[in-house]
Structure 1
Amino acid sequence: MDALAPLARGHADLVELLDRRAALDAALGLLVVDGDVAWMAEPASDGGYLVLRRVRGDRTGLLRGLRVPRGLGLTGKVHGSGGPAWVDDYFRSTDITHTFDGHIEAEAVRRLLAVPVRRHGRPLGVLAVGARTDGAFGDRAVARAGAVADHAALAVAVAERARLAREVAVHEERSRIAAELHDSVGALLFAIGSGVAGLAETADGDPELTDRLERLRRQADEASTALRDSLRTLRASPAALALSVALRADCTAFADRTGVPAELVVLDDVPPDLPRSRHEVLVAAVREALLNVEKHAAASAVVVTAGRRPRGGVVVAVTDDGVGLPPDHVPGLGLTSTADAVGRLGGTVRVVSDPDGGTTWRIDLPC
């Protein structure tokens, strides 16, 4: 049994890392070593302020769910500056706004330390720890808080990837069920409708039978319509996964048509999220690139990569290992139309061919 203990601990650590809530609770538990109360403030959906979603060691409950605009209080200051900050005498400090003095006083907090939580430059929130005793936060406390913030950032990233994988799996299972229903129930309803129509042709001399067969035909049509609506719902992509789901589906369709493997690689913790109009233009551009690979590249493998632009938006590249483009290549109607559509949204389409073979289509689309 002792030999299994390290494995059990490793499994517990992995489960904790995959569970966003458990991981953040563990981070706050580490943080309160240097204080009495700690919280994780995370960006709200519109990004205009932070919300204290996870709090540990509080007495009043006033901090839970508190909204903190950028720049206000120590937490908002750290969110705005992107660097750690602390005050050893909260109420006498002139370095922060005192917007939340009532909350801090109710919690009897005397000094406060806050650090940003970031992953690959992307802000994920702010961790803060408050102490109810006089004193000063030294270098060790600041270093510990920074290390805890790094742990929390990794946990959030891993949890987001796990959530994404689960949602993609759910979507793929729903699509599989939709396909099975289409092939089985849909085919059966079509056969019933056709059979009823055939019987109706032989029942001209029996008005009652004709009427009953007509009702059956209408019911079969209504069932087919209801089935199509259900299949459309099953196949619908979750909004947050629309881009990755669509690109993965296009890669799968390409591979099914050509026999050439096509892989999607999402470079960030979460796939880029675009307005519907831009999403449609981007997906159409990728489809056009894959179509050109299919027609001209003679490739043995294709990779589609999607990632965020540093200033917002998305970059998608379609890369193949085929024969490349000839020196006198002239863009066709498809590429020209695609470039025009992307250009109207402020984006660009570039096609770069390696002299030794292989071509990359790069679609750069801002928000």
Structure 2
Amino acid sequence: MGAELRAVRGKLDVGLTFGGRVTDGTLRISELQGARTGGLRGLDVPAGSGLGGKVLDELWPRLISDYATARTITHQFDREVLTEGIRSVVAVPVVMSGVPRAVLYSAVRGDAPLGARAIEVMTAAAKRLAEEFRVQDEVDRRMRLLGADQEQPAGDPAAVEELRVTYGELRDLAATTDDPAMRARLRSLCDRLHDRSGGSGIALSERETDVLAQIALGCSNTDTADRLGLKPETVKSYLRNAMQKLNARTRHQAVVNARRQGLLP
């Protein structure tokens, strides 16, 4: 969230951006860029209260040209907002499946109010953040599945198949996310799954393993390219290199050999 707020502040050239996650219908402001005071940090905003609460209720962006005189919102947060010198402010919800997950704000302290461009930039940031949350949710779901899998008998076919699918999907997410911290977390999970399947003296590159993991899920070269954000020709090159290292004549044999060597679950 902090990265998106910094990017928005730069694009709009505004004095302040801030936001936070929503839990049980209440927004908590946790991220601030350009704040002069600490009044907004840690502020809890229930649904229906203030500008952020209105956005939570409506699930729609809102622009206030002059906060101090606005009649469309409640004003219980005036002390915190006005102490920051905020004049015009935009609030945009981050919504997933009809549920608000966060709210992003941008604000100016001068007389020139924010306009349609601010809403456009903020909405794009909210969409990117929603995708980041989707990835985080998938990681958390896979973590729970992995924990449940630990309790299943060793060699159980269902557990082995779930392990393989999880490994392929996590590598897919790691290859496509733009968040370095999330990518590192996903790679760490992949390493944990790999450790459970044994080791090998054969060394595949990250991308060769990414491609082979998708092939193991039954993906074609075109499907693999789409999922990993690569060109089909690049996928072919990685697959060819992996096949040579694994002494495999076919893609199917490459997957089988990789599993035998402990390079794939």
Q: TM-score range by the shorter chain?
A: 0.5 to 0.7
Q: Alignment identity in percent? A: 32
Whether the aligned pair in 1 keeps the contact of 2:89 and 2:105 (CA below 8 Å) is yes
Hey, what does 2:15 align to over in structure 1?
36
- Which of 57, 75, 79 is residue 56 of structure 2 equivalent to? 79
2:51 pairs with 1:149: no
2:35 pairs with 1:136: no
Structure-2 change in CA distance of 1:259 and 1:164 (3 Å) = closer
Hey, what does 1:329 align to over in structure 2?
none
Q: Scaled by the length of structure 1, what TM-score is found?
A: 0.40
Structure-2 change in CA distance of 1:259 and 1:137 (3 Å) = closer
Q: Scaled by the length of structure 2, what TM-score is found?
A: 0.55
Hey, what does 2:147 align to over in structure 1?
245
Q: In 2, distance between residues paired with 1:74 and 1:51?
A: 13
Q: More strand by proportion, 1 or 2?
A: 1
Aligned amino acid, residue 36 of structure 1: G
Hey, what does 1:60 align to over in structure 2?
37
Q: SS of the counterpart of 2:155?
A: helix
Q: In 2, distance between residues paired with 1:69 and 1:112?
A: 18
Shift of 1:139: 1.8
Shift of 1:30: 1.9
Q: In 1, distance between residues paired with 2:8 and 2:18?
A: 9
- Which of 104, 111, 120 is residue 81 of structure 2 equivalent to? 104
Q: SS of the counterpart of 2:29?
A: strand
2:169 pairs with 1:256: no
Q: Deviations over 1:66-106 (max 9, x none)?
A: 11111111011101111100110111111100111111110
Q: Deviations over 1:268-323 (max 9, x none)?
A: x9xxxxxxxxxxxxxxxxxxxxxxxxxxxxxxxxxxxxxxxxxxxxxxxxxxxxxx
2:123 pairs with 1:123: no
Q: In 2, distance between residues paired with 1:258 and 1:159?
A: 27
Shift of 1:256: 2.8
Structure-2 change in CA distance of 1:257 and 1:161 (3 Å) = closer
Aligned amino acid, residue 83 of structure 2: A
Q: SS of the counterpart of 1:256?
A: coil
Structure-2 change in CA distance of 1:125 and 1:29 (3 Å) = same
Structure-2 change in CA distance of 1:63 and 1:263 (3 Å) = same
Shift of 1:131: 0.7
Q: SS of the counterpart of 1:142?
A: helix
Q: In 1, distance between residues paired with 2:159 and 2:67?
A: 63
Hey, what does 2:70 align to over in structure 1?
93
Structure-2 change in CA distance of 1:263 and 1:75 (3 Å) = same
Aligned amino acid, residue 88 of structure 1: S
Q: In 1, distance between residues paired with 2:46 and 2:30?
A: 14
Highest RCO, 1 vs 2 (Cα 8 Å, sep ≥ 6): 2
Q: In 2, distance between residues paired with 1:93 and 1:249?
A: 56
Query: Which entry has the higher C-alpha Rg, 1 or 2?
Result: 1
Please provide the CA RMSD for this pair. 2.9
Whether the aligned pair in 1 keeps the contact of 2:63 and 2:115 (CA below 8 Å) is no
Q: Deviations over 1:310-355 (max 9, x none)?
A: xxxxxxxxxxxxxxxxxxxxxxxxxxxxxxxxxxxxxxxxxxxxxx
Q: SS of the counterpart of 1:135?
A: coil
Q: SS of the counterpart of 1:118?
A: strand
Q: SS of the counterpart of 1:50?
A: strand
Count matched residues. 165
Q: In 2, distance between residues paired with 1:55 and 1:83?
A: 21
Structure 1: gaps (5+ residues): 1-23, 169-240, 270-367
